Amino acid sequence: MMQSEKLMIFILVLSMFRALNVYGSMDTLPVTEMGRRHYELAKQTELESIVLLENKEHILPLDKAVQSKIAVFGNGSFVPTNGSSGSGTVPGAFTYNLYKGLRKIGVAYDETVYNHYKENISVTYDWGVSVKVNHNWDTSDKEKWGEARFSNSGWNRESPIADPELGLEGQMVASAADFSSDKTAVVYITRGVGTEEMDRFDQPSDWYLNPSEYTLLKQVTRAFDQVIVILNTSGSMDLSWMDFDWLANDPDYNEGGSLTPAFAKACANKVKGLILSYGSGSYHGVVMAELLYGEADFSGKLADSMTKTYGQQPTKDNFHYVTYADRGLNDKDFNALNGKDDPIYLYQESIYTGYRYFDTFAADDVLYPFGYGLSYNTFAFKDYKVEADEAENTIRVSATIANVSDEKGLPAGKEVMEVYVSAPEGALEQPYQKLVAYAKTGKLAPGAAETVAVTIPVADLASYHEKKAAYVLEAGDYLIRVGNSSRNTHIAGMITVNDEIVAGQLSNKLTLNGADPTGKADNKAVYDSIRFSTKAKRPADPAVYGYQNPNDRKEIEEARASALLIDENFVAFTDNSGNNTSFAAGRAPDDYVATLTAVKKGEISRADFVAQMTKDELVNFLSGGYGARNSEQYYSDDPALQINHLTSKDAEKGWIGGAGSSRNIRRLGIPSLTYADGSAGIFISASTAKQLGIDPNPGFARAAGMACTWNPELQYQWGKAIGEEMRAINVDIWLAPSINLHRNPLNGRNTEYYSEDPVLSGKIAAYVAKGVAENGVSVCLKHFAGNDQEWYRRGLHTPASEARGENKDAANTIVSERALREVTLKPFEIAVKSGQVMCVMSAFNKINGKYCAASDELLTGILRGEWHYEGFVVTDWGDFDEIPHAADEMRAGNDMIMSGYHTRYKIPDQIYQNVVKSYSGQPHTVSLDQLRRNAAHVLNTILFSRNAFTEDNDYNLEKHLSHKLEIMTTQLPAAIVGMDYAKIKVNPIVVAGSEGATRYTFSIGAGGDPLPAALSLHGNGSITGMPAPEDLGKYKLLVQVEDDRGNVATKPLELEVANQKEKVKDQENDETTKAAQLPVDRGLMLDPPDNSELKATIGKAFSRRITASGGTVESFSYTLSPNSDALPQGLIFQDGLISGKPEPGTAGVYSIVVRASEIGGSFRSSEAGYRLVVSE
């Protein structure tokens, strides 16, 4: 396999990272200045990500003088979870556990319990951190213990469950209680659950506790007087265990009559502290110890609403594998591929996601509200101000936050100001409130205060009106709420709108009714009949519906007295209803070749530059990358020459990135882009760090934990640190942040996503993107859009599922246009508009009947036309199962196929064979100009990358392999008398070694034959003209190239001018074999096309001919590829014809691969694969 031209430091696939001394001591790190900053930042992100949920009787902070010795239990105390698997796994160089943290602050723990964990828990690092617990529990009863579930899709992934807790003898627990200073214990409940491709389940060892955890809690609450439980988990879980009612089913509950219902209450009362930590970064144990003992204060706030039970979740009936049939929907009306059993993601909750649902409909179902988190300190808000700025079209909300704690010895703390708006309900329904902004104080010691302010565009208060296709502020009163959680706010001010204001005019896109290919179904009416709605359920007065703040009525009247009157002058109206997103094709230079450096220096436009790219180069550049199947692509008129041509010496120097890289085009000086995966950061291994003289990177808080920091500056600094690490190891694109929503707590990738709230998610992504971009590299927002669960997101289509007739379409997200814009798309919109984003990853799923990856409304109309995005769009990795046609993706504005491959066909072929001169509505086709448009989008990101170009706009030779100027073309195809040579030699002469040059020019050098009189070599390397009979013969040319730095290279090339018939006759006997040995070219087209199905019946005559077209000659040879299955008995293959009668016993499915090769001409060849189905 050819390697990237990029001088890329070796990065293992993220899922397979082997961490450096994970869970051990790394006291020698860091050693560099960058490392010191990043390690300190990692500790701070961990500190601010942890949320204190309960602190009964002020059990915390613990006092070293009183609790100098403590007992610690639970597998997670020894091996805290780093999060989920897949792209959620970036463990960092090490992870401190709580025992290490306690040692650091001088607190003793029970060594017997510690050694018990140490001797019975082992850790390996294959496909992420793997923990083995010698627990000795019988877990065969799956109803009690749960079981791992598999997606059974093309990439069959396992959703893991928690290991049983290591069993503890009663005497060991009792001894630990005696050891503890005042019978204080810490218990870890750990969940490293969820993964790519598969969601979690409401079962034991996942959402629910398992028997070993119940036993542990019972043992500890029996033996200790006060217990602190730490939820170290990759996502939310059941909290009903906290009332200890489950003890009623315990086998020894009434043993000897000593246990009574009072015992359950007593156990519950002993759990005095509850702490939430979403995964663990490197400093987890150190930070946790400091927090427990008051050396630091909690400042984390929930980014989700937490319920006691799963049954209280609004999306519980529309999660996992739900079908059209399950919900009584007509699959044909929603453009289902297979039928009623295709999967759907029905967004029945509409605009009421997370706290917006609970505050509006089910206030009592919330155990811990969105934005909630306790602190050791007490903070008071005062001096609220809401001010309007007509010139800036904004409102400014401020408050003074004071630390009013009177307890001595408390550490300084931080508080969060959360700003919500309650909009009036007119024609549009509204949730009780929506978050619009947030800010966090610095450290405030008791007695200190800080005034915090946020600026909010007035347009951010608008709602989307589907009938008007516009964002509007309806007439009425807008309440501005300020507080430290969604359930603890004060009405800081009121904004009054007398007449409706149109803030932004758009056009309807991705509508429900647009899902029906016939255009007849009223899907909108069907959806409206089942979606959550406030109509007839409450009056419009925001003081009396849903969650009822007892002070609302009084505060509303007070705010009305000083309400700010807003009209259209306070809104910067935008009209994006008909933005032109077309691409104006340029004109390639005729007398020279321009490199990408010339674009960077302003010497040529991007449009003119991409006009130089040939069909071969465009398809190669945009269809995959290194690490993908079919990564070796060849020039169609020079089939021995790879488009990404490197020498073996280059291959020794270059490495493939952890998530692959795009292909370079050396002829034009286009470097590759390298991707790195991991929602919590990228990974720098110990060997890489040693090679570069830097530190292995620390593990930062998981993404879900980062959201709990509610700290814009910290989130920006985290992005900045990631960007520095990317520059250090030559990565251009970080495949994060993932900003789908926590629509359901069982989403398999919630640890990678930030929050249930679209605004919080979008703002975090924007802050992170800005930090990354400061280093001249970029994030990649994913997954665009509606990928809020994993199971069947790309459906199911494998040979096995096809044989069983069980294929499934990619899941269809069914959602109103308003909910789509205000909720699903909102995080992406915020990040694109206010962050510096140069890459967006499309999602596998559908939205309202249209594949996201092939939706021009989504990828071009909304992303570019409305949001003015300037980067490129890339597909998700590994195009397994049911995805759209690659040509449709390209045409829609999905600019590049990511590294990876499809299991059933070759993506480059699918594009190449369907390129048309101009697009006129044909399905599965794409024009050359559309490919050039896509290439221009990708090049915009490459031009942005400081790994590709320096701040002085020079090609970054330090980051890329460089070579001497060299002509790489291996042969010139024969010219045919009377035939336009430009149709034979479709690519110009190819050069390598142009790195750093801005242009180079070709000529015929002295010392060789001149060209035939009818042919011309242009300065850009193309040869044109139509040979005449008098030009017959062979010409030994000396081709010369010179770049603008004075470098010169020459190469002898032979050109033959022949008659077509004579050429075929001379070569057909011996060159058929020669052509069959050449690499497969993408230039020819076979009929039937690739991936067609051929059907035969046992005992019946069968005949099907395979034919080729599109070559430079009219004669072809046909062979079965070595990759082909043998034909069933009774059938033969000869000269492209499969014929005969299948014999009995041959029923089955055969994979037949046919190769067609030119006889003469440029010896081009191509393959097509067929499914031959033989039935009884």
Q: The CATH number of the domain where 995 resides is what?
A: 2.60.40.10
Q: Of the spans 255-269, 843-857, 1104-1118, which averages the highest pLDDT?
A: 843-857
Q: How confident is the model at residue 504 (pLDDT cuts 50, 70, 90)?
A: very high
Beta bridge partners of 124: 130
Burial of 950 per CB tally in 10 Å (0-12, 13-18, 19+): middle
1049 and 1078 within one domain? no
pLDDT of residue 1010: 96
pLDDT of residue 655 exceeding 50, the answer is no
Give dist(CA 244, CA 268) in Å, integer: 6
CB count in 10 Å sphere of residue 340: 14
User: Is-contact 46 699, C-beta < 8 A?
Assistant: no
pLDDT tens, residue by residue, 841-887? 999 999 999 999 999 999 999 999 999 999 999 999 876 789 899 99
Higher per-residue confidence, 162 vs 905 = 162
898 and 819 within one domain? yes
597 and 641 within one domain? yes
pLDDT of residue 262: 76
pLDDT of residue 398 exceeding 70, the answer is yes
Q: Which residues have a Cβ under 8 Å from the Cβ of 654 and sit 6 or more positions away? A: 3, 4, 5, 6, 7, 8, 646, 961
Residue 18 maps to a domain: no
1089 and 1005 within one domain? no
Q: What is the DSSP string of 598-650?
A: HHHTTSS-HHHHHTT--HHHHHHHHB-EETSTT---EETTEEEEETT---HHH
Q: Which DSSP letter does residue 16 get?
A: G
pLDDT of residue 576: 93
Q: What average pLDDT does the chain have?
A: 89
One-letter identity of residue 756: E
566 and 639 within one domain? no
One-letter identity of residue 89: T
Residue 303 maps to a domain: no
Q: How confident is the model at residue 341 (pLDDT cuts 50, 70, 90)?
A: very high
pLDDT of residue 630: 52
Higher per-residue confidence, 537 vs 797 = 797
Q: Domain range for residue 611? A: 593-944
Residue 787 maps to a domain: yes
Beta bridge partners of 1116: 1158
User: Residues 336, 337, 338, 342: is their CA dihedral positive or negative?
Assistant: negative
Q: How confident is the model at residue 1082 (pLDDT cuts 50, 70, 90)?
A: very low
Give dist(CA 287, CA 295) in Å, integer: 9
Which of 575, 609, 634 is at the close of a domain? 575
pLDDT of residue 592: 98
Find the radius of gyration of the CA atoms of the chain.
Answer: 33
pLDDT of residue 903: 66
pLDDT of residue 1169: 87
Give dist(CA 520, CA 516) in Å, integer: 7
Which of 1037, 1058, 1079 is at the close of a domain? 1058
pLDDT of residue 16 exceeding 60, the answer is no
Which of 272, 296, 320 is at the close of a domain? 296
pLDDT of residue 1085: 78
pLDDT of residue 24: 39
Give dist(CA 911, CA 934) in Å, integer: 13
Q: Return the residue matching tokens 């041959």.
A: 1146
Q: How confident is the model at residue 652 (pLDDT cuts 50, 70, 90)?
A: very low
Residue 1029 maps to a domain: yes
Q: Return the residue matching tokens 């030994």.
A: 1036
1011 and 866 within one domain? no
Q: How confident is the model at residue 68 (pLDDT cuts 50, 70, 90)?
A: very high
pLDDT of residue 1115: 75
Cα angle, residue 1015 at apex, residues 1009 and 1019 outer, rounded to 5°: 85
pLDDT tens, residue by residue, 1021-1046? 999 999 999 999 999 999 999 999 99
Q: What is the CATH classification number for the domain harbouring 773?
A: 3.20.20.300
Token code pair at residue 52: 């204190």
996 and 1139 within one domain? no
Give dist(CA 318, CA 307) in Å, integer: 17
Token code pair at residue 376: 């050791």
**First-to-last C-alpha distance (Å) of the chain:** 42
Percentage of the chain beyond pLDDT 90 is 70
Residue 875 maps to a domain: yes
1077 and 1109 within one domain? yes
Q: Closest by alpha carbon to 390, among 569, 565, 564?
A: 569
Residue environment code for 423-447, b if the CB has 16+ CB neighbours within 10 A, otherwise e: bbbeebbbbbbbbbbbbbbeebebe
pLDDT of residue 25: 44
pLDDT of residue 4 exceeding 70, the answer is no
3-state secondary structure of 337: coil
pLDDT of residue 506 exceeding 80, the answer is yes
User: Is-contact 146 203, C-beta < 8 A?
Assistant: yes
Higher per-residue confidence, 1067 vs 795 = 795
User: Is-contact 321 344, C-beta < 8 A?
Assistant: no
The stretch 391-401 carries a mean pLDDT of 98
Q: Of the spans 260-274, 580-594, 805-819, which averages the highest pLDDT?
A: 805-819
pLDDT of residue 404 exceeding 70, the answer is yes
Residue 1048 maps to a domain: yes
pLDDT of residue 375 exceeding 70, the answer is yes
CA dist 127 to 15, 123, 124, 130, 623, Å?
A: 5, 12, 9, 8, 27
Q: Which DSSP letter does residue 876 get?
A: P
Q: What is the CATH classification number for the domain harbouring 64?
A: 3.40.50.1700
pLDDT of residue 628 exceeding 60, the answer is no
User: Is-contact 1152 1138, C-beta < 8 A?
Assistant: yes
Detail the DSSP E strand segments found in 651-771: 661-662, 675-677, 733-735
Token code pair at residue 139: 């877990």
873 and 741 within one domain? yes
Average the pLDDT over each of 13-22, 465-474, 544-553, 1073-1082 and give the range with the smallest value: 13-22
pLDDT of residue 921 exceeding 90, the answer is no
1091 and 1042 within one domain? no
3-state secondary structure of 538: coil
One-letter identity of residue 44: Q
Q: How many domains does the chain have?
A: 5
1079 and 1006 within one domain? no
CA of residue 841 relative to chain centroid, distance: 6
User: Is-contact 1040 1050, C-beta < 8 A?
Assistant: yes
Give dist(CA 176, CA 224) in Å, integer: 9
CB count in 10 Å sphere of residue 675: 27
Beta bridge partners of 1150: 1172
pLDDT of residue 1077 exceeding 70, the answer is no
pLDDT of residue 575 exceeding 50, the answer is yes
Higher per-residue confidence, 873 vs 1123 = 873
Beta bridge partners of 1159: none
Residue 774 maps to a domain: yes
366 and 254 within one domain? no
CB count in 10 Å sphere of residue 1003: 14
Residue 953 maps to a domain: no
pLDDT tens, residue by residue, 194-230? 888 899 999 999 999 999 999 999 999 999 999 999 9
Q: Return the residue matching tokens 């959360």.
A: 418
One-letter identity of residue 188: Y
Burial of 918 per CB tally in 10 Å (0-12, 13-18, 19+): exposed
